[in-house]
């Protein structure tokens, strides 16, 4: 059994500009098919619009508000919202107030699978 607390994980900046702390992924557990991280995007900032060729993502908003854009479709998001980002979908999240959300990726997140137009 692997049990890790998010507070013990060191934050890092992803290729899209968000700050994440891995909860469970290939770097800290014998993970094969997915990853789970806590991401933050500060007030009045946004991730860089990007896509993943292989990865399907779920975002689950814990705190804050903002706008989620996936392939040209924009929606206001806040606590309790879950967002599906299919592989290949261009996406960006912008924070009206600091966003904190869970990000689940399958296969696991990899910098090499992040692409920009």
Mean pLDDT by 10 residues, the chain (117 residues): 92 89 93 96 96 97 98 98 98 98 96 91
Range of the domain at 71: 10-81+89-96
62 part of a folded domain: yes
Classified as helix, coil or strand, 61 is strand
34 part of a folded domain: yes
52 part of a folded domain: yes
Classified as helix, coil or strand, 46 is strand
112 part of a folded domain: no
Q: How far apart are CA 113 and CA 108, in angstroms?
A: 10
Tokens read off for 88: 């290949």
107 part of a folded domain: no
64 part of a folded domain: yes
Q: How far apart are CA 31 and CA 47, in angstroms?
A: 26
46 part of a folded domain: yes
114 part of a folded domain: no
pLDDT at 97: 98
pLDDT at 16: 86
- What is the tally of structural domains in the chain? 1
């Amino acid at each position: 059994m692997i049990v890790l607390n998010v507070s013990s994980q060191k934050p890092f900046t992803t290729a899209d500009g968000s700050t994440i702390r891995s909860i469970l992924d290939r770097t800290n557990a014998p993970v094969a098919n997915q990853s789970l991280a806590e991401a933050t995007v500060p007030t009045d900032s946004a991730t860089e619009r990007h896509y993943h060729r292989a990865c399907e993502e779920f975002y689950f908003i814990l705190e804050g508000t903002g706008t989620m854009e996936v392939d040209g479709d924009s929606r206001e998001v806040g606590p309790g919202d879950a967002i599906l980002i299919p592989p290949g979908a261009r996406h960006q999240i912008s924070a009206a107030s600091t966003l904190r959300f869970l990000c689940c990726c399958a296969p696991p997140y990899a910098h090499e699978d992040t692409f920009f137009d």
